[in-house]
């Protein structure tokens, strides 16, 4: 850590209210911490868990989904650095009595950015949302200029109000939060994306603000979905060449070339998943891929993941993909296919056409031809919709396996 | 250095002004550290040009990027690709791609694409200077919304051309003078974020601060009110490296007083 960064940590502690000062708690830091990022538009809530033993470890929780910090370091002066390796970000806090005070830091193309952070012991209380909020809403972001369609999907859970925002290319991951009357505030913070949605139901219309990062705010207005399509499903936007076998040839994490002509893929049903370790929705689809593999590998299913990563540097990208593999216990090959944006898979996959979302699943039959492209993914944040998608993918895969 | 910093808690008054100042100093130190060490710092840039068609790097190309393998960056129907050693890589926008020890970044939106090449980092290159913190130069004002959210091609702080949307005028009082400054919504490349940006000049411009002006980002306070912390006024990247194009001053965005806050510029050595 450079002097400048350490100084940043030291000085951030000076922002503590004096009432919070005091020695660290005798019982250590173990337990749940109710944390918040102080955005310009209000506090974004999330949950942390620390385990204070010989080594300090911890998890960052967004709703019921928790991911371990890649590294936790204790610094002099009761300060901690909690690194979020997947996203090259970190939380830096100091212990003050029964509080943690500091900031979340990441680095953009225009330099480092920080958001103030505080935490106290405990968990955020759940509140019960009114029936009027629950369900699907057809939303328009920026209704006055550059309008852009979204779908909001809200449901009631034991943690309060949960749901997600869906765009043409997939969902924004799980949002969770609380309500007060017909007003609501929901957050999504996974260590990389800082999103908050707050609003209020007035009559039959939702109005509110979508917050991104420290200061960005976009208004939205939403009406209850009628069932008519409000978005263009990404799956309908992708076309595939089905006249010949689908081809791929990329290095695996050892640098060995893996191609569709390798024996392990011959006469097999194959799912090719285009993904990125930086993509939150891909962390939702990863467990489904593992489940499909466990269910059907003995019946002739193979899966291959094509990773489109951050740097294009095999060493750096390889580390990120290996961490992703280990996180989900993936046993099928993951290949370094390129770098991440919507153009990249198109450039390296000439048999696909159209804007490709992350993740995209390409289902090949035993002859190697594309039978289906499923672009985008509905994760657990969408509740029953996600479960329906999972069941449908299982049924489709099984159908391919039973073909002659 | 660090020892003296560790004494700060005992030396500083508990007043909020002191705490705000300390946080700002820490942010500035972090930014300076990034400028001096990051492989993607504007100081490390050796090439920054619009891309149209094809760009050849390496021996015989421009830029040569000594030691980097020969490579061709192309923009076509299937997006932007980098061909090197017989291999084609897709290049995303707003994220760096390695080319030997060099880095290439493709930026821009709304039809204009910009390529920046960054050299392998050497030693420190200098530290930005700043006016001391002044609490009274954190001002609040109201945003008078534009009647029509017109769009305009413009350069952002990072010298990348983008499409800004006119948000309106922020109105308030600073140093005893009323002001009205134009505000644009400028997207932050590669994210969902859109910043309310003000590019302004004042009595220090061309004397103590960067002549074309400085950027400051508004923080929403609710109910149409915004905070403009002039202590956080920053130079565009062209102040660090002449490769980056400078935004033209925004018409009418000149404060008639000296704003002795934010980032300095050594005009004499320009």
The partner residue sitting opposite B2, judged by closest CB among A6, A212, A350, is A6
> Is A189 within 8 Å of A280 (Cβ atoms)?
no
Q: Which of A79-83, A214-218, A298-302, A350-354 has the weakest average pLDDT?
A: A350-354
The answer, yes or no, to whether residue B25 has pLDDT greater than 50, is: yes
- 3-state helix, strand and coil shares in percent for chain A, rounded to the nearest 5: 20, 45, 35
> Is A231 within 8 Å of A148 (Cβ atoms)?
no
pLDDT (0 to 100) of residue B21: 84
B23 and A15 within 8 Å at the Cβ level: the answer is: yes
Q: Can you name the residues that pair with A206 across neighbouring β-strands?
A: A201, A222
pLDDT (0 to 100) of residue A266: 94
pLDDT (0 to 100) of residue A27: 60
pLDDT (0 to 100) of residue A342: 45
The answer, yes or no, to whether residue B7 has pLDDT greater than 60, is: no
Residues 6+ apart with CB under 8 A from A12: A92, A94, A101, A102, A103, A114, A116, B23, B26
Query: Cβ of B220 under 8 Å from any chain A Cβ?
Result: yes
CA B157 to CA B214: how far, in whole Å?
9
pLDDT (0 to 100) of residue A303: 97
The answer, yes or no, to whether residue A400 has pLDDT greater than 60, is: yes
Number of CB atoms found within 10 A of residue A169's CB = 20
Percent of chain A whose pLDDT exceeds 70: 85
Residue B238 banded pLDDT, cuts 50, 70, 90: very high
More confident residue, B176 or A167: B176
A107 and B149 within 8 Å at the Cβ level: the answer is: no
CA A61 to CA A191: how far, in whole Å?
9
> Is A336 within 8 Å of A317 (Cβ atoms)?
yes
A231: nearest Cα among A170, A149, A147: A149
Rounded mean pLDDT, A61-80: 88
The answer, yes or no, to whether residue B9 has pLDDT greater than 70, is: no
The answer, yes or no, to whether residue A169 has pLDDT greater than 70, is: no
CA B186 to CA B155: how far, in whole Å?
9
The answer, yes or no, to whether residue B222 has pLDDT greater than 70, is: yes
A108 and B165 within 8 Å at the Cβ level: the answer is: no
Interval A138-147: pLDDT, tens: 999 988 877 8
pLDDT (0 to 100) of residue B4: 30
Least Cα separation, residue B146 to chain A (angstroms)? 11
A213 and B81 within 8 Å at the Cβ level: the answer is: no
3-state secondary structure A159-214: CEEEEEEEECCEECCCEEEEEECCEEEEEEECCCCEEEEEEEEECCEEEEEEEECC
Q: Which of A91-100, A241-250, B138-147, B218-227 has the weakest average pLDDT?
A: A241-250
pLDDT (0 to 100) of residue A348: 61
Residue A212 banded pLDDT, cuts 50, 70, 90: very high
Interval A358-378: pLDDT, tens: 788 999 999 998 888 887 787
Judge if ipTM > 0.90: no
Q: Which of A203-212, A272-281, A339-348, B16-25 has the weakest average pLDDT?
A: A339-348
Q: For residue B217, which phi and psi values (nearest 5 degrees)?
A: -105, 135
CA A214 to CA A112: how far, in whole Å?
12
A11 and B26 within 8 Å at the Cβ level: the answer is: yes
DSSP-derived secondary structure letter, B175: T
The partner residue sitting opposite B193, judged by closest CB among A8, A145, A213, is A213
Rounded mean pLDDT, A204-217: 94
pLDDT (0 to 100) of residue A21: 46
Chain B neighbours among A 214-243 (CB < 8 Å)?
A: 214-218
Chain B environment of A6 (Cβ under 8 Å): 2
> Is B133 within 8 Å of B21 (Cβ atoms)?
yes
- Nearest chain A residue to B78 by CA distance is A347
pLDDT (0 to 100) of residue B11: 36
Residues 6+ apart with CB under 8 A from A225: A135, A136, A137, A138, A151
pLDDT (0 to 100) of residue A166: 84
CA A178 to CA A182: how far, in whole Å?
10
Chain-centroid distance of CA A154 in Å reads 18
CA A106 to CA A83: how far, in whole Å?
10
* Mean per-residue pLDDT over chain B, rounded: 85
């Amino acid at each position: 850590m450079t002097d400048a960064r350490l100084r940043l940590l030291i000085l951030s502690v000076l922002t503590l209210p004096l009432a919070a000062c005091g020695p660290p708690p005798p019982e250590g830091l173990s337990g749940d911490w109710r944390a918040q990022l102080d955005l310009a538009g209000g506090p974004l809530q999330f949950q942390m868990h620390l385990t204070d033993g010989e080594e300090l470890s911890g998890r960052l929780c967004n709703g019921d989904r928790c991911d371990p910090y890649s590294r936790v370091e204790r610094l002099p002066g009761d300060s901690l650095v909690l690194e979020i390796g997947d996203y090259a970000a970190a939380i830096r806090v100091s212990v003050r009595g029964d509080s943690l005070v500091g900031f979340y830091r990441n680095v953009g193309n225009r330099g480092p950015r920080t958001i103030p952070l505080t935490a106290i012991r405990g968990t955020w209380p759940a509140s019960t949302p009114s029936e009027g909020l629950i369900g699907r809403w057809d939303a328009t972001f920026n209704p006055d200029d550059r309008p852009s369609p979204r779908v909001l999907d809200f449901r009631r859970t034991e943690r309060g109000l949960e749901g997600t925002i869906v765009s043409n290319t997939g969902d924004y991951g799980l949002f969770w939060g609380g309500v007060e009357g017909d007003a609501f505030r929901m957050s999504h913070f996974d260590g990389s994306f800082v999103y908050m949605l707050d609003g209020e139901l007035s009559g039959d219309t939702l109005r509110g603000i979508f917050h991104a990062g420290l200061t960005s705010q976009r208004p939205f207005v939403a009406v209850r979905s009628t069932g008519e399509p409000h978005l263009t499903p990404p799956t309908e936007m992708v076309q595939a060449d089905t006249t010949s076998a689908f081809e791929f040839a990329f290095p695996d994490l050892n640098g060995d070339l893996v191609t569709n002509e390798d024996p392990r893929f011959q006469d097999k049903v194959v799912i090719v998943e285009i993904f990125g370790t930086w993509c939150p929705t891909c962390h939702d689809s990863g467990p489904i891929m593992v489940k499909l593999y466990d269910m059907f590998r003995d019946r002739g299913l193979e899966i291959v993941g094509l990773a489109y990563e951050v740097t294009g540097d095999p060493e750096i990208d390889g580390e990120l993909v290996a961490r992703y593999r280990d996180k989900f216990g993936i046993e099928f090959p993951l290949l370094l296919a390129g770098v991440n944006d919507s153009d990249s898979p198109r450039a390296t996959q000439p048999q696909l056409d159209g804007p490709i979302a992350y993740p995209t699943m390409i289902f090949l039959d035993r002859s190697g031809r594309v039978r289906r492209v499923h672009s985008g993914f509905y994760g657990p944040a969408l509740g029953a919709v996600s479960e329906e998608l999972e069941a449908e993918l299982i049924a489709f895969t099984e159908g391919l396996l039973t073909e002659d | 250095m660090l020892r003296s910093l560790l004494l700060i808690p005992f030396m500083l008054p508990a007043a909020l002004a002191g705490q705000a100042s300390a946080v700002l100093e820490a942010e500035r130190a972090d930014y300076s550290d990034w400028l001096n060490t990051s492989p993607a710092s504007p100081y490390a840039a050796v090439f920054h040009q619009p891309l149209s068609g094809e760009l050849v790097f390496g021996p015989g190309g421009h830029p040569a990027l000594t030691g980097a393998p020969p490579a061709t960056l192309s923009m076509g129907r299937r997006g932007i690709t980098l061909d090197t050693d017989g291999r084609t890589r897709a290049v995303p926008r707003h994220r760096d791609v390695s080319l030997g020890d060099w880095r290439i970044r493709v930026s821009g939106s709304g039809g204009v694409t910009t390529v920046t090449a960054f050299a392998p980092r050497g030693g420190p290159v200098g530290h930005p200077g700043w006016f001391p913190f002044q609490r009274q130069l954190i001002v609040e004002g109201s945003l008078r919304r534009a009647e029509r959210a017109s769009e305009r091609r413009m350069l952002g702080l990072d010298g990348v051309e983008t499409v800004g949307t006119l948000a309106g005028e922020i109105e308030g009082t600073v140093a005893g003078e009323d002001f009205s400054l134009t505000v644009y919504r400028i997207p932050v490349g590669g994210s969902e974020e859109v910043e309310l940006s003000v590019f302004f000049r004042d009595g220090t411009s061309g004397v103590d601060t960067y002549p074309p002006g400085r950027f400051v980002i508004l923080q929403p306070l609710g109910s149409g009110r915004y905070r403009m912390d002039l202590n956080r006024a920053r130079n565009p990247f062209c102040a660090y490296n002449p490769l980056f194009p400078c935004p033209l001053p925004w018409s009418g965005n000149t404060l008639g007083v000296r704003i002795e806050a934010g980032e300095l510029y050594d005009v004499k050595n320009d």
